[in-house]
Amino acid sequence: MLTIGKLSKATGVKIPTIRYYEQIGLLASPVRSSGNQRHYDHAAQERLAFISHARDLGFPLDAIRELLSLSDRDEHACATADDIARRQLAAVKARIARLNALQVELQRMLDHCHGGSLSDCRVIQVLGDHGLCRHDHGRAA
């Protein structure tokens, strides 16, 4: 059995995050000692490692909840898990495309700045007038 501190060290997940995962039901409430100290078993450590790895890969909490539910029922085909991973991959690709557009726009802005006075500064001009940008890189929906 692991205390919350040892579980945190073993998984790299901060203690407040572990408590949060318990509050939202991703991690079961642990057994408590007579002194009310949380004690986690190996299964809780594995589950927390799963959650942590999924978060590292950018999966939203709802998707992780769904994946955990699937992993708790081995008899199901993995098609649903594949679909969740495909959605995450599409979201990552969309973010990468947006970041690439931002990179191009920032580089273009800097390339057109000639280091003159602030009144002629291309960075200031472009930031003040979105119409000077080549790409629509507004906030993500």
Residues 6+ apart with CB under 8 A from 89: none
- Check pLDDT > 70 for residue 139: no
Residue 137's pLDDT band (cuts 50, 70, 90): low
Q: Is residue 3 part of a domain?
A: yes
Structural domain boundaries, residue 131: 89-141
Task: Note whether 109 and 123 are within 8 A (CB).
Answer: yes
DSSP state of 135: S
- Check pLDDT > 60 for residue 90: yes
- Which of 39, 60, 81 is at the close of a domain? 60
Instruction: Between 112 and 95, name the one with better pLDDT.
Output: 95
Residue 80 corresponds to which tokens in the numbers above?
Answer: 């649903």
- Number of domain units in the chain: 2
Residue 141's pLDDT band (cuts 50, 70, 90): very low
Same domain? For 3 and 49 the reply is: yes
CATH number of the domain enclosing 24:
1.10.1660.10
Q: Is residue 120 part of a domain?
A: yes
Same domain? For 46 and 94 the reply is: no
At 16-64, the pLDDT tens digits run 999 999 999 999 988 888 888 889 999 999 999 999 999 999 999 999 9
